[in-house]
């Protein structure tokens, strides 16, 4: 896995671009994400079904992972079973 | 990651939404993406090492920028205002290029260099019609996205390099995806070869804010377009704002009620102009954006609240912030350092250093970054105790008189307080005794008589120090500025040397 990789959810429509990552497993809807979609969809875990939002950046508490959602879906994102949270960008006035 | 992702996401989220209006033609995000993908085919087939644009702003700038990115070839918009000799030098440095725009000029100035040339309309039509394989894979975006020649006000133009990672670092850190309302529209009038012209396209597209292009600036056309397209956001350089206010004062009728936010940058904003602008556009938020080509655009901001607070304040320190560059973006670090590279204290003068993901600091020939990733901007300035940055000029413009460093800005600011002085430029003139001394070129304000030289010298002596008193004073009808509002000190030096 390296920055710039595009990952797809096995459980829903979610797609993310990897901005930063460590060595753990990136999951969506409770199932591991991969560059290709599996032939058979994984079940959406109830615990990870809050959904992903287009254009939001998701990070872990340690700041090792950052994912940009480029396609939204029903699953929510996690790494090794720990949910990621939305990175709040400070709203800036448009400068260009 | 490839910067084309920005356009792909905008098209994915709202494919029918209008992303660009130029000369009456409206483009949806999906149409722009289709044309960019087609352009990538043309670029790939041409074997070009660069994609150059030699043209005013149009849809071709968007299509070429993202088409080049998809094809993995640096996009290199050129300054069409350059003299033949200077442009010929740049054309040779990007050969063989696919060049969109003034085909006749390329054929005349750069024959036999292997360039592929296309007029704007031919390029756009071919990009729209090109066949793209359904499983086409694009460049991963690990290399150079944009190559810009610096304006060269102090030396020969350098080829600054911006990688996909620098530009995406800026956009993803500063712009909220699809945050614009459906009615939002940004008026883009900065030329396409300027970093602000490129970042305006990317940030507007990512925010899903409709771009309204004005290919060639006149204050009348700008006001007409604000009214016709109900423009909400605009970026201007100081000279543009000066001219817009001038025609409004002369009574130009225009409905600018839709305008909510005006950002400015690219050169020093005269205090008088921004004060007038804040009064005339009282319903707008003003933002001063400070950035350089080498930093992928904005690194510091003076926001709307700062402007209002400064205008309303009686505290001279707060009021002075109207001339400040503002504070660093949250994603960027800024330090002021002395000549030995040591960080100086608050309010002490030095050189502005910047660090962050969006900072490239890299030229084709070499990187200017320090070992720990800081970019020395060559801009001179200081930071107050609240983190507001003030610019005093280019570090190269510092006047060294007998070992004492003086910034032209402080001398100019004092001279500008004289009622008869409309514009001022201080620069170094050679001196046998001191190495350098201060020379000033002044523009007389209409309706005033030329003040005595002794009166002006006394003004500087009283407010600053005797070392800063100009040795030579010349009155000129106007000072030389480039089209972005940058004062061409090199030329003033020439005038004062005569």
Chain B environment of A71 (Cβ under 8 Å):
12
B101-152 residue pLDDT tens: 999 999 999 999 999 999 999 999 999 999 999 999 999 999 999 999 987 6
A60-89 residue pLDDT tens: 999 999 999 999 999 999 999 999 999 976
Are the Cβ atoms of A93 and B303 closer than 8 angstroms?
A: yes
CA contacts within 13 A on the Cβ side of B179 = 17
Of B148, B197, B207, B181, the closest CA to residue B7 belongs to B207
pLDDT at B458 over 70: yes
A83 at interface of B, judged by CB pairs closer than 8 A? no
Q: How far is B177 from chain A (nearest CA, A)?
A: 5
Of A3, A55, A71, the CB nearest to B177: A55
Are the Cβ atoms of A93 and B9 closer than 8 angstroms?
A: no
Are the Cβ atoms of A70 and B9 closer than 8 angstroms?
A: yes
Largest interatomic CA distance in chain B:
76
Chain B environment of A15 (Cβ under 8 Å):
none
Alpha-carbon span B239 to B250, nearest angstrom: 17
pLDDT at B422 over 80: yes
Which burial class, exposed, middle or buried, applies to A91 when counting CB atoms under 10 A from its CB (0-12, 13-18, 19+)? exposed
Q: Report residue B11's pLDDT band, with 50, 70 and 90 as the boundaries.
A: very high
Best residue in B1, B209, B302 for a mutation probing chain A (most A CBs within 10 Å): B1
Alpha-carbon span B120 to B122, nearest angstrom: 6
Are the Cβ atoms of B298 and A57 closer than 8 angstroms?
A: no
Question: Which two three-digit tokens encode residue B161?
Answer: 């390099």
Q: Report residue B396's pLDDT band, with 50, 70 and 90 as the boundaries.
A: confident
B41-47 average pLDDT score:
97
B1-15 average pLDDT score:
94
A22 at interface of B, judged by CB pairs closer than 8 A? no
Chain A environment of B211 (Cβ under 8 Å):
none
Of B153, B196, B150, B139, the closest CA to residue B3 belongs to B139
Please tell me which residue of chain B has the smallest CA distance to A6: B1
β A57-59/A66-71 pair status: antiparallel
Angle of CA points B228, B232, B234, to nearest 5°: 95
Of A85, A80, A78, A77, the closest CA to residue A61 belongs to A85
Alpha-carbon span B485 to B479, nearest angstrom: 11
Interface of B with A in 211-240 (CB under 8 A): 233, 235
B256-275 residue pLDDT tens: 999 999 999 987 788 888 99
B349-391 residue pLDDT tens: 999 999 999 999 999 989 999 999 999 999 999 999 999 999 8
The conformational region for residue B107 under phi > 0 = left, psi -120 to 50 = alpha, else beta, is alpha
Q: Give the CA distances from residue B49 to residues B144, B209, B270, B276, in Å, rounded to whole numbers and listed in that order.
A: 11, 32, 41, 47
User: Mean pLDDT of all residues in chain B?
Assistant: 93
Q: Report residue B155's pLDDT band, with 50, 70 and 90 as the boundaries.
A: low
Question: Which two three-digit tokens encode residue B401?
Answer: 């008189």
Interface of B with A in 289-318 (CB under 8 A): 289, 291, 297-298, 301, 303-304
Of A3, A71, A96, the CB nearest to B200: A96
B163 at interface of A, judged by CB pairs closer than 8 A? no
pLDDT at B409 over 90: no
B206-244 residue pLDDT tens: 999 999 999 999 999 999 999 999 999 999 998 899 999
pTM: 0.89
Of A57, A70, A94, the CB nearest to B261: A94
Q: Give the CA distances from residue B405 to residues A57, B389, B411, in Å, rounded to whole numbers and listed in that order.
A: 46, 19, 12
Please tell me which residue of chain A has the smallest CA distance to B327: A92
């Amino acid at each position: 896995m390296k920055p710039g990789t595009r990952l797809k959810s096995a459980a829903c429509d979610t797609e993310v671009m990897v901005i930063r990552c460590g060595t753990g497993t990136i999951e969506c809807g409770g199932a591991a994400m991969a560059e290709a979609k599996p032939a058979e969809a994984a079940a959406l875990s109830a615990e990870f079904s809050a959904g992903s939002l287009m254009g939001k950046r998701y990070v872990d508490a340690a700041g090792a992972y950052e994912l940009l959602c480029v396609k939204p879906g029903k699953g929510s994102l996690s790494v090794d079973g720990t949910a990621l949270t939305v990175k709040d960008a400070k709203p800036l006035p448009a400068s260009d | 990651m490839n910067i084309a992702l920005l356009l792909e996401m905008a098209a994915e989220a709202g494919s029918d939404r209008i992303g660009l209006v130029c000369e009456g033609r409206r483009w949806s995000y999906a149409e722009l993406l289709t044309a960019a993908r087609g352009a990538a085919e043309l670029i790939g087939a041409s074997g070009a090492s660069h994609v150059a644009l030699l043209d005013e702003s149009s849809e071709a700038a968007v299509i070429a920028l993202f088409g080049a990115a998809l094809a993995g070839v640096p996009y290199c918009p050129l300054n069409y205002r350059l003299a033949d000799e200077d442009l010929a030098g740049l054309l040779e440095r990007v050969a063989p290029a696919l060049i969109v725009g003034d085909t006749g000029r390329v054929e005349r100035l750069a024959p036999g260099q292997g360039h592929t040339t296309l007029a704007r309309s031919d390029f756009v039509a071919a990009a729209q019609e090109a066949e793209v394989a359904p499983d086409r894979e694009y460049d991963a975006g690990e290399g150079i996205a944009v190559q810009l020649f610096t304006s060269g006000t102090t030396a020969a133009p350098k080829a600054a390099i911006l990688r996909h990672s620098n530009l995406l670092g800026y956009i993803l850190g500063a712009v909220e995806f699809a945050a614009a309302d459906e009615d939002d529209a940004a008026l883009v009038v900065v030329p396409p070869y300027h970093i602000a012209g490129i970042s305006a396209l990317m940030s507007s597209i990512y925010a899903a804010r409709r771009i309204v292009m004005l290919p060639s600036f006149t204050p009348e056309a700008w006001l007409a377009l604000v009214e016709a397209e109900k423009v909400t956001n605009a970026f201007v350089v100081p000279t543009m704002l000066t001219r817009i206010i001038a025609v409004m004062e002369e009574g130009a009728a225009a409905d600018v009620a839709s305008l909510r936010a005006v950002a400015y940058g690219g050169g020093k904003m005269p205090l008088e102009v921004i004060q007038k602008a804040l009064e005339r556009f009282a319903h707008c938020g003003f933002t001063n954006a400070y950035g350089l080509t080498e930093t992928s655009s904005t690194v510091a901001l003076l926001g709307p609240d700062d402007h209002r607070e400064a205008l309303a304040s009686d505290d001279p320190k707060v009021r002075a912030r109207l001339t400040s560059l503002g504070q660093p973006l949250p994603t960027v670090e800024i330090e002021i350092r002395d000549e030995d590279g040591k960080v100086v204290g608050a309010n002490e003068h030095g050189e502005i250093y910047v660090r962050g993901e969006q900072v490239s600091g890299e030229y084709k020939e070499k990187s200017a970054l320090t070992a720990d990733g800081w970019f020395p901007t060559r801009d001179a300035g200081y930071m107050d105790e609240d983190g507001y940055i003030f610019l005093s000029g280019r570090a190269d413009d510092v006047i060294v008189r007998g070992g004492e460093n003086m910034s032209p800005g402080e001398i100019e600011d004092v001279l500008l307080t004289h009622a008869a002085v409309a514009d001022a430029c201080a620069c170094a003139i050679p001196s046998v005794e001191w190495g350098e001394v201060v020379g000033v070129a002044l523009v007389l304000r209409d309706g005033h008589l030329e003040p005595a030289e002794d009166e002006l010298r006394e003004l500087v002596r009283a407010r600053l120090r005797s070392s800063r008193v100009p040795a030579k004073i010349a009155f000129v009808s106007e000072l030389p500025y480039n089209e972005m509002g940058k004062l061409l000190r090199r030329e003033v030096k020439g005038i004062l040397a005569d």
